[in-house]
């Protein structure tokens, strides 16, 4: 196993342990509807922050039952959420919000600069929705 992969996979999801201690915890922003839905959720909500590298870059917040095998656990500020970061790429140029077939995990050597700084979640019409942000977008 390469050291960069060990860094990614060894990152703790809690802000106090492992590699996660060196990363800033992802700030969590919840709407009132998200707060209500989260209060009824029996276990921490799994949130996967997907960053797609293609001919354009796309951000997507996913709510899978289990994280992708290559997703990287990242610390967050809300213990009711389990956060993962998953950089991916495509074999061919893909534009739009449609599902992209054949996604590949993108091999980032230094993943820390690509990990988002904040995530905003809402619960609308019975479904979770969200977006994530980087420092310049937070201003």
Report the predicted TM-score, pTM, of the whole model to 2 decimal places: 0.75
pLDDT at 15: 33
Q: Which two tokens stand for residue 31?
A: 């709407």
- Containing structural domain, residue 91: 3-138
Q: How many CB atoms lie within 10 A of CB 20?
A: 20
More confident: 108 or 92: 108
- For the range 130-136, what are the long-range contacts, defined as Cβ-Cβ under 8 Å and sequence gap of 24 or more? 130/47, 130/61, 130/63, 131/59, 131/61, 132/26, 132/49, 132/59, 132/61
Residue of 128, 139, 127 lying closest to 49 (CA atoms): 128
Model pLDDT, residue 139:
55
Number of domains in the chain: 1
Band the pLDDT of 91: cuts 50, 70, 90. Answer: confident
Mean pLDDT of 100-109: 77
Q: Identify the pLDDT of residue 109.
A: 84
> What pLDDT was estimated at residue 103?
80
């Amino acid at each position: 196993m390469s050291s960069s992969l060990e860094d990614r996979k060894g990152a703790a999801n809690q802000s106090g342990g492992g590699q996660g201690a060196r990363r800033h915890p992802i700030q969590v922003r919840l709407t009132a509807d998200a707060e209500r839905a989260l209060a009824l959720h029996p276990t921490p909500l799994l949130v996967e922050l997907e960053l797609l590298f293609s001919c354009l870059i796309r951000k997507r917040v996913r709510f899978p039952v289990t994280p992708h095998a290559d997703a990287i656990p990242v610390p967050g500020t809300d213990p009711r959420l389990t956060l993962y970061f998953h950089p991916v790429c495509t074999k061919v140029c893909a534009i739009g919000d449609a599902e992209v077939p054949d996604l590949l995990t993108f091999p980032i050597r230094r993943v820390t600069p690509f990990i988002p700084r904040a995530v905003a979640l809402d619960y609308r019409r019975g479904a979770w929705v969200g977006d994530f942000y980087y420092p310049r977008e937070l201003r």
